[in-house]
Homo-oligomer: A and B are copies of this chain.
Amino acid sequence: MSSTSMGLQLRSTVKKEGIVEITLARVPTPEPKPEEVVVRIDASPINPSDQGLLFGGADLTTVKASGTADNPVVTASISPAALKALAGRLEQSLPVGNEAAGVVVQAGASPAAQALMGKTVAILGGAMYAQYRCIKAMQCLVLPPGTTPAEGADCFVNPLTALGMVETMRREGHKALVHTAAASNLGQMLNKICIKDKVDLVNIVRRPEHVDLLKRIGATYVCSSASPQFMDDLVEALAASGATVAFDAIGGGRLAGQILGGMETAANRTAKEYSRYGSTPHKQVYIYGGLDRGPTEFHRTFGMAWGVGGWLLTAFLQKIGFEAAQKLRERVAAEIKTTFASTYAKEVSLAEALRIEEIMVYSKQATGEKYLINPNKGAR
């Protein structure tokens, strides 16, 4: 029996009494079917989009560790309100991790699967916080020679989200876009795409030092919401760029409304006569993240042609269809070391990812504090 036959897999369970429990399970690796391969996961990012499933919206000030160093157990309390929204996952031990990269160590009998043996591939599909992942050969994106798993770990979520934003902007008839939490990995990618594609991008950051960070990589418009001149700066940038669509990672608080208000003020600068229903162009904010889990609040001071709504990568890819989505994926592979390069603050093993001192860092989802899990770190 090969050494790949069993492996550690991270599991998250929401208990009906209002507790999330995170553990490492030892699970058998499935024998690959003819069209499948087994990938040894060497790198899987902890994206904001993973943390909802991982922590179940628990209050992380209540986090507790138990178990042993090899078999750590982490628990935290979930408020009754948050628990209500989790009815669908109660008492289920769920694997976590959207995307990863690693090396194909076992392959099914089909030529397509066999062709991947030994190749470094990027994969998407959940259950990636594990030593081994069995997956269809056609779901593997082969990385260009010389690409490490760490370099290719984030081939899907951030790159396709950033490309999806620009594509949504074009398809819905806007000429420029706004992005919040703009100094993030994703935000930096979006800047690189927009510079390359000559699309105007208004960056909103939450800390003054992030203005310089983005200016250094070539951003034209960067507004800090911490500045007392924030609204003035924002209106200037919106007027200059003509941006009428925004992608917001924050979700809670007043930012979405401030952006719509800024778009309205910018639009009215060029209006010929007063309209009590506000400016005519449709102004849209898409909320794609929830860095602020508090309520969204806005004063409706931006006329009638506006929308706020959810934006989800998988729904977007489904809408544009396989061929259009494939074009985006191919662009990511081709530019993985340039436009779509990610940086990580730290690489941790599965057991290290369950240490409270690490959770306290990566759960903040702060810019520059992104973690990479290497499930096989120290395991070989």
B310–A307 CB distance below 8 A? yes
A271 at the interface (CB under 8 A from B): yes
| A308: B residues at CB distance < 8 A | 307-309
Q: List the one stretch of A84-92, A134-142, A166-174 in contact with chain B.
A: A84-92
Q: Which one of A22-30, A62-70, A273-281, A365-373 is at the B interface?
A: A273-281
**In the complex, what distance in Å separates the CA atom of A176 from the CA atom of B84?**
26
Q: Contact: A297 with B295, CB < 8 Å? A: yes
A309-B309 in contact (CB<8A): yes
By a CB distance below 8 angstroms, the chain B residues around A315 are 280, 304-305
Q: Would you call A89 and B276 a contact (CB within 8 A)?
A: yes
With a cutoff of 8 Å between Cβ atoms, the chain B residues found around residue A88 in the complex are 268, 271, 273-275
Q: Does A144 contact B (CB under 8 A)?
A: no
Cβ contact within 8 Å between A268 and B300: no
- Complex: A60 Cα to B251 Cα, angstroms: 34
A274/B92 in contact, CB under 8 A: yes
Which residues of B have CB within 8 Å of A314?
277
CB-nearest residue of chain B to A301: B85
Q: Is A298 an interface residue (CB 8 A)?
A: yes
Residue total for A at the interface (Cβ-Cβ under 8 A): 42
- Residue A312 at the chain B interface, CB threshold 8 Å: yes
A312 partner, pick from B53, B288, B304, beta carbons under 8 A: B304
Are A300 and B251 closer than 8 Å at their CB atoms?
yes
A100, chain B: closest CB distance, angstroms: 18
Question: Given A268-B88, A271-B88, A275-B88, are A295 and B299 also a contact pair (CB < 8 Å)?
Answer: yes
Query: Are the C-beta atoms of A310 and B299 separated by less than 8 Å?
Result: no
Decide if B309 touches A306 in the complex (CB within 8 Å).
Answer: yes
- Which residues of chain A from 27 to 53 have a CB within 8 Å of any chain B CB? 52-53
Interface code A247-261, partner B: CB below 8 Å = 1, 0 otherwise? 000011000010000
B312 touches A305 (CB 8 A): yes
CB-CB < 8 A to A87: which residues of B?
268
A290 at the interface (CB under 8 A from B): yes
Q: Which of B81, B277, B280, B310 contacts A304 (CB 8 A)?
A: B310
CB distance from A216 to the nearest CB of B (A): 33
Other A-B pairs, 11, CB within 8 Å; known A296-B297, A303-B310, A307-B309: A53-B276, A89-B274, A89-B276, A251-B300, A290-B300, A295-B297, A295-B298, A295-B300, A296-B299, A297-B297, A308-B308
State the A residues within 8 Å of B (CB). 52-53, 81, 84-85, 87-89, 92, 251-252, 257, 268, 271, 273-277, 280, 287-288, 290, 295-301, 303-312, 314-315
